[in-house]
Amino acid sequence: MKFINQVNTIFFDLDHTLWDFEKNSSLAFKNIFNNRSFPFSHSKFLTFYIPINHKYWDYYSENKISAEQLRTIRLKETFKALKFNSTAKFIDEISCEYMKTLPTQTFLFEGVIDLLKHLKPKYNLHIITNGFEDVQYMKLKNSKILTYFDKIINPENSLAKKPNSKIFNYALSLVKENPKNCLMIGDDFFADVMGALNVGMNAIHFNSTNEPKHEKCTIVNSIKELHKLLN
């Protein structure tokens, strides 16, 4: 990582990078299951929901569906796969309940707070996320890591989504930095790594979702590994 000596600004992705999305999402749905009756278990629901959610998030990132469509279609497809009859009203209720509950969950990957405490005096720290602005803000606030970051860049204020170069160029213009002095850290190879590299930024792939290995940049599999690299 020869570039690290010239880096003064670090952009983090949030979900699957700092904030443990799968764990927090599971807990949010568990709360919903505790308050409602379903003919299948919480774990069986997640077995279907998780890959469906990933698929539709990719569609959302590629501008194939809107934010409103994403909120409901992932549930509609999951219930369909489970052969569970559901009305549009019921799906909307579950979606609203989930979106309200999700950002109240506060599990971070192990070592995140120590890492941010270590980095904050040395670097300018920011977030670039494809998540919804209000939801991501509450995740950061409730997890008590909001104060570590100066700028929160998202599709609503940048009018673009990763890996589109527009969101990265917007971030660079916002912080007034040369891309060579910036580092992007995220879990998604295409959205975070290639998106950043394509505008001249440096990148570290925080491979928390077991994506295929590559040689485009440094890969780490834990916050502990990341901490050692940025020591």
Quick one: pLDDT at residue 97? Answer: 97
- Under the banding of pLDDT at 50, 70 and 90, the label for residue 134 is very high
Using the predicted structure, report yes or no on whether residue 7 has a pLDDT greater than 90: yes
Q: What is the pLDDT of residues 60-88, one digit of tens each?
A: 999 999 999 999 999 999 999 999 999 99
Using the predicted structure, report yes or no on whether residue 1 has a pLDDT greater than 80: no
Domain ranges of the chain: 2-20+108-229, 22-104
State mean pLDDT over 141-145: 98
Task: Record the tokens describing residue 207, joined without a space.
Answer: 């491979």
Quick one: pLDDT at residue 207? Answer: 96
CATH number, domain 22-104: 1.10.150.240
Report pTM: 0.94
3-state secondary structure the chain: CHHHHHCCEEEECCECCCECHHHHHHHHHHHHHHHCCCCCCHHHHHHHHHHHHHHHHHHHHCCCCCHHHHHHHHHHHHHHHCCCCCCHHHHHHHHHHHHHHHHHCCCECCCHHHHHHHHCCCCEEEEECCCCHHHHHHHHHHCCCHHHCCEEECHHHHCCCCCCHHHHHHHHHHHCCCHHHEEEEECCHHHHHHHHHCCCCEEEEECCCCCCCCCCCEEECCHHHHHHHCC
Please say whether the structural domain 2-20+108-229 has been given the CATH code 3.40.50.1000: yes
